Amino acid sequence: MKETNSLTVETHCFHCGDDLPEPPYPADDKQFCCLGCQGVYQILSSHNLSSYYLYNDVPGVSQQKKAPHFNYLDEPGIAAELVDYTDARITVISLFIPVIHCSSCIWLLENLHKINPAIAQSRVDFLKKQVTITFKNQQISLRQVVEMLSMIGYEPLISLQDMIKKQRSDHSERNLLTKIAVAGFCFGNVMLLSFPDYFGLNSFEQNFKNFFGWINLAFAIPVLLYSARDYFISAWTNLKNGVLNLDFPLALGIAVMFIRSAYEIITQTGAGFVDTLCSLVFFLLIGKWMQKRTYHYLSFERDFRSYFPVAVTQLKDGQEKPIPLNELKTGDRILIRGNEIIPADAILLKGEAELDFSFVTGESLPLAKVLGEIVYAGGRQLRGAIELEVVKPVSQSYLTKLWNNEAFSGQKDPIKTFSDTASRYFSIVLVAIALAAGLYWINTDVNKAIAAFTAVLIIACPCALALSSPFTLAAVLSIFDQNKFYLKNTAVIEELARIDTIVFDKTGTITNPQATGFDFSGTLDQHQKQLVSDLARNSGHPLSRELVKWLAVNPYFPVEHYMEKVGRGISGRLDGHDVKLGSAAYLGLKTQDKGSVVHILIEGHYSGYFRSSQRWRDGFKQLALKLGQKADLHLLSGDQDHDRKTLTPFFPRMQQLHFQQSPQQKLDYILRLQETGAKVMMLGDGLNDAGALKQSNLGIAVTDDINNFSPGCDAILDGAAFKKIPQFIQQAKDAVKVIHMSFAISLLYNVVGLFFAVQGLLSPLMAAILMPVSTITIILFTSLTARFYARKNKLL
């Protein structure tokens, strides 16, 4: 808002918050940026859903993009693959809606029945950005449901991969939560029954001592056999393979605790360590849950099917019919509309093809095709509708071969964590101390020898060590999440700390696809700028659209005798003047264009030219200087080398700038770096980077919309957080320091416990105090220290 003579003037769209155009689109004394936002407001208002705007400021999403086609959802075969359940009356479907972001979204989506009574029920899963809708299929179709959602600004994201591979099941997570619940229930009850023993039994309670012991043992059985079973399975599997992981001493400690507790309770010689056993398993499972926690709505293992649409429009006998992509055959004639993706290699039969292949090849300039020329899969049509004839099915297209060749050919070593390394030595030392303690006492007192042997295994059980990594890394994962950096799992943090070589893609990675500028050479007065803007406004070419934005003048003159030569230039007559915009060849100029250049002729006189200059992401210069001090920087681009001079200052050595690189060349370059011992982090954004991202020690997909398709990777970085990469790396290094410090603290507790254990003096009360205290200390220390470093690194 701005103040003008004490009057308040709106400058932002009431629905989405975008800047208002001149003139804006009004409705009910509200101002909107486009007809789409105005339409959504009118729909909500007419159905008494205006409360949507009360819960949050500007809760909506801009509606300026072109409405999608959902007619393929009328095909029974496609719909059947997408729905969760259907019968003669109702259908249930779960839809992924990326724009869900606030309480207003939840409120509106759970009140869809007010817009259409045929919606029986709708429930939102906010974390998964998913809405489950139950609708009466006799009154409304699936297509109408999806169109309704799109109409109010909540367009679902539906891809081919939704049909072939349903969203991964969360069965394993539910199973883990059930095990935590069982262990927590048993732990609470065992502690309750053990309190009298801790504080001394009076004569009345002495009568129930054995009874309490048996009940505790009964509680320990489900904890041992159900909640802790994965530790035994993992330890045994790794032992068979000759590997000592952290699960081995944990499983050994749990088993020894149960056996000794059972012996003491059955023989009535003691209370056992059931409380310690249950608390240990409970906290370990919480640590495992935190370590496994990830982002339900993001996919780090996407393939080419996520990039393709669900269906394509087939032209047969003059009729348009949507068919599933897997039914597309060689010889089929298909219709591709503006902004749609070409799903198979095909020949152009009709229309003007201007294609954006930047995601597939890395080339930033649009590619024009002529009739009869082969158009490869993966390109996005920028102009109007075109007709093509399929020459290869989807499974044999260039894009599919590219993916299958690059993304799966690399042999990447698994990430090694500190816990895995430490556990090998810890297990050997632990068993050695336990055996030494037992052998020391065996000649004098067999019972004391057994007590010392088992006590060492109980008290030195690496509970604190097992928790230090999960809680530290989970805290860092949460901090990264707040800063729009999403990791596949917690192990990626430790790998990030080891990186010493960073490789960048150019187009879409270090360049900002949403910010293109122009440098002008020549002379244009305001009237001539108006002529140029009004002529360029008639073209759908990306350079024309960007030029109109850059000139920033409102439309004024109509265009007569408009003509456009795809990929070459445009011409027309405005206000009595002949104006031509385009390449030097189109205007008949004797000069060679370098990069994206638009020349201007007005009434046959040369007025100058606009040169499109790609804008680097915010903070790229400072980022490159910071990273270059501690890491080796490289550039691999599939684009032409017209930005070489501009990029040279950002990279230490000119020979580390590589242009016109194929996907295979990128992958081979990463391999050569790794052969020299380098720990490589690759940042890319397109399918042409898929192999390199997969092969690198750490692959990061950079995207300006985390819900858009990105290739398989270890992490997804929102473009808005690109400048924070040095801070993320430093936070990862600090996280490893916290793990080392917490490991030292856990060893200190073990030393104290071992002092009593080797003498056979460890009591259940001491174990019950020492183990929870060490666990809580580690949890608090790791969580607080990780956040301290985050503030130091300006991530909080």
- Residue 1 has a pLDDT of 43
Looking at residue 601, what is its pLDDT?
92
pLDDT of residue 406: 44
N-to-C CA span, the chain: 29
Which strand (E) or helix (H) includes residue 399? helix 398-406
Least Cα distance to 738 among 471, 466, 477 occurs for 471
* Domain positions in the chain: 2-55, 71-168, 170-293, 309-404, 486-512+617-730, 515-616
Q: What does the pLDDT read at residue 120? A: 92
pLDDT digits (tens, 9 = 90+) for 509-541: 888 766 556 778 888 888 999 999 899 888 766
Q: Indicate the helix (H) or strand (E) that contains 177.
A: helix 171-198
**pLDDT at residue 164, rounded to an integer:** 44
Q: Is the dihedral of CA 305, 306, 311, 313 positive or negative?
A: negative
Query: pTM of the entire structure?
Result: 0.68
Measured CA to CA in angstroms, residue 258 lies from 239, 439, 458 at distances of: 21, 22, 10
Look-up of token digits 């819960």: 55
d(C-alpha 368, C-alpha 539), whole Å? 14
Domain 486-512+617-730 has CATH 3.40.50.300: no
Could you tell me which of 309, 248, 257 has the C-alpha nearest to residue 278?
Answer: 257
d(CA 540, CA 380): 13
**What letter would DSSP give residue 380?**
E
Distance CA 598, CA 596 (A): 7
Per-residue pLDDT tens for 270-302?
Answer: 777 888 888 888 988 888 887 676 555 455 555
Q: Do residues 383 and 396 touch, judged by C-beta distance below 8 A? A: no
* Range list of β-strands (E), 398-525: 485-487, 501-504, 511-522
Tokens 């016109």 correspond to 660
Among the listed residues 571, 483, 481, 494, the one whose alpha carbon sits nearest the alpha carbon of residue 532: 571
Percent of the chain with pLDDT over 90: 17
Contact 156, 149 (CB under 8 A): yes
User: Do β-strands 374-375 and 380-381 pair in parallel, antiparallel, or remain unpaired?
Assistant: unpaired
What local confidence, expressed as pLDDT, does residue 764 receive? 56
Distances (CA, A) of 419 to 256, 291, 491, 725, 776: 22, 13, 10, 25, 19
The amino acid occupying position 491 is A
CATH match for 71-168 among 3.40.1280.10, 3.30.70.100, 3.40.50.300, 3.30.70.20:
3.30.70.100
Give the domain 515-616 fold. Calcium-transporting ATPase, cytoplasmic domain N (3.40.1110)
CATH of domain 309-404: 2.70.150.10
Q: Give me the residues of the chain with pLDDT under 70, please.
A: 1-10, 62-68, 159-172, 195-207, 291, 293-307, 358-365, 395-416, 419-420, 423, 460-465, 513-517, 540-542, 566-567, 592-595, 613-614, 686-687, 705-712, 760-769
Can you count the helices (H) and strands (E) in the chain? Answer: 27, 30
* pLDDT at res. 191: 83
Nearest CA to 82 among 329, 308, 324? 324
Cα of 440 vs its chain's centroid, Å? 55
Which pLDDT belongs to residue 342? Answer: 87
Q: Distance between CA atoms of 611 and 599, rounded to whole angstroms?
A: 9
Do 719 and 683 touch, CB atoms closer than 8 A? no
Q: Which amino acid is at 619?
A: G
CB 687 within 8 A of CB 701: no
Return the pLDDT at 790: 92
pLDDT at 520: 82
Written as six digits, the tokens of 693 are 């991202």
